[in-house]
Amino acid sequence: MIEYLKICRIDHWLKNVFIVFGHIVALVLYFDMELEGYFVVNALLSLIPACLIASAYYILNEILDAPFDALHPAKKNRGIPAGKVKIPILWGMMAVLLIVGFTLAWSLFPNKRYFFSLAILMGCALLYNLPPIRLKDKAFLDVISESINNPLRLWLGWFAVLPANEPAGPPISIVFAWWFFGALLMTGKRYSEYRFIGDDAVSGQYRKSFKVYTERRLIMAMITYACLFCFCTGIAMAVYPQLNNLVLVFPMIVVALIAYFRHAMKEESAQLEPEKLLANPWIILSTVITGALSIWLLLAHKNNWFEAREYLDLMQPRWKQPGAG
């Protein structure tokens, strides 16, 4: 039984913490930091269908990837390529998870856009894994299509707590920032995995996209996604008054990105499983500090303790300030 549970990747449910980001964005921009009675309940419940559908996706992924995992130096020991599980049972588990997950999504949340966002999430998983499209095999498109899970989780968090009659989604700048952030993480995984295999012939058999990827191309892609993430994040901070104070968080964001790149480039990182790439204590520390500072700055705007825009305006040349003669 333990081998079947491993294929469900319950330990990967932690990735659905990205849904919480959608809750936070809704709390700040839609609810103006005022908690409604149903907010916390819906926020917690929103994680359940997402985790069930995620496990269904992981089962599908393991079944379809088994022939390729057999060529991987570490993944060849997984349940299917090692012959530890029966595939018909896995198909049955997947069907149950899908039925229960989507039933809960429809019945628990008045805003049906949560259900449709979850359906799109599963649809993208099918496009990513199923031939003949199988975006997983296409260089660069594999990262873009897999990282779309980030903005979809953002939608799940947003629509789970919004009223049923509210059609608006989160700001497009934040959606793209979250997408590019996911693309950065996914490319980092590809980079780590590419270096871990260390053989172009073997890596190309394991994952077709590795026939196109090189270390240089992956590094360039990581830099591109990091820049696009910062660009979209900056737009959101500038456009929405509630987020203006977060401009002061940008130095910490840069530190976090530097820590991420530094860890990804270390020789020993090539021997890590991709999912452990973010286990670096400096990355964790910088993320915690950034989160704490962000919360304080959001509360500072809400309670009129501090407004970064006022101080930044004072830094302009006098002839550019409003009313200057």
Distance CA 216, CA 268 (A): 18
> Does the pLDDT of residue 133 top 90, yes or no?
no
For 147, 219, 253, the CA distances from 68, given in Å and listed in that order, are 21, 24, 36
Position 283 scores a pLDDT of 66
* Residues 133-150, mean pLDDT to the nearest whole number: 90
Asked if pLDDT for residue 274 goes beyond 50, the answer is: no
In tens, the pLDDT along 228-264 reads 999 999 999 999 999 999 999 988 888 888 877 877 7
Q: Please check the confidence at residue 189 and state whether its pLDDT lies above 90.
A: no
Collapsed DSSP state (helix, strand, coil) of residue 105? helix
Predicted pLDDT of residue 317: 66
Average pLDDT over residues 11-38: 88
Classify the phi-psi angles of 171: left when phi > 0, otherwise alpha if psi is within -120 to 50, otherwise beta: beta
Q: Are 133 and 1 in contact (CB under 8 A)?
A: no
pLDDT at 316: 66
Q: What CA–CA distance (Å, rounded) separates 190 from 64?
A: 19
38-65 residue pLDDT tens: 899 999 999 999 999 999 999 998 898 8
Is the pLDDT assigned to residue 1 strictly greater than 80? no
Position 218 pLDDT exceeds 60: yes
Encoded tokens for 18: 């990205």
Q: Is the pLDDT of residue 35 over 60?
A: yes
Q: How far is CA 242 from CA 11, 52, 81, 158, 237, in A?
A: 35, 34, 51, 17, 8
Alpha-helical regions (H) of the chain: 2-8, 18-29, 39-45, 47-69, 87-108, 113-129, 141-147, 149-161, 172-197, 200-206, 215-239, 250-265, 281-302, 308-314
Confidence (pLDDT) at 99: 97
pLDDT of residue 199: 77
Q: What percent of the chain has pLDDT over 70?
A: 91
75-151-251-319 Cα dihedral, nearest 10 degrees: 160
Q: Roughly what angle, to the nearest 10 degrees, separates helices 18-29 and 149-161?
A: 50
Q: Is the pLDDT of residue 271 over 70?
A: no
Whether pLDDT at 323 is above 60: no
Instruction: Output the CA–CA distances (angstroms, integers) from residue 107 to 111, 134, 280, in the order listed.
Output: 10, 32, 40
pLDDT bracket for residue 324 (50, 70, 90): low
Q: Indicate if the pLDDT at residue 268 is higher than 70.
A: no
Segment 298-302 shows an average pLDDT of 92
pLDDT at site 207: 76
| pLDDT value at residue 243 | 94
Tell the burial category of 153 from Cβ atoms under 10 Å away from its Cβ (0-12, 13-18, 19+).
Answer: buried
Cα angle value 35/40/46 (rounded, 5°): 135
Dist CA 152 CA 24 (whole Å):
15
- Which residues touch 108 (CB under 8 Å, ≥6 apart)? 42, 45, 48, 49
Closest CA to 293 of 308, 312, 309, 314: 308
pLDDT for residue 30 is more than 80: yes
Residues 152-173 have pLDDT tens digits of 999 999 999 999 887 788 999 9
- Best CA proximity match to 118, nearest among 157, 167, 164: 157
pLDDT above 90 for 201: no
* Residue 144: per-residue pLDDT: 93
Sign for the CA dihedral angle at 224, 230, 234, 236 comes to positive
What are the CA-CA distances from residue 2 to residues 5, 6, 62, 121 (Å)?
5, 6, 15, 27
Confidence of residue 321 (pLDDT cuts 50, 70, 90): low
Instruction: Count Cβ atoms within 10 A of the Cβ of residue 164 and give its class: 0-12 exposed, 13-18 middle, 19 or more buried.
Output: exposed
The predicted pLDDT at position 237 comes to 93
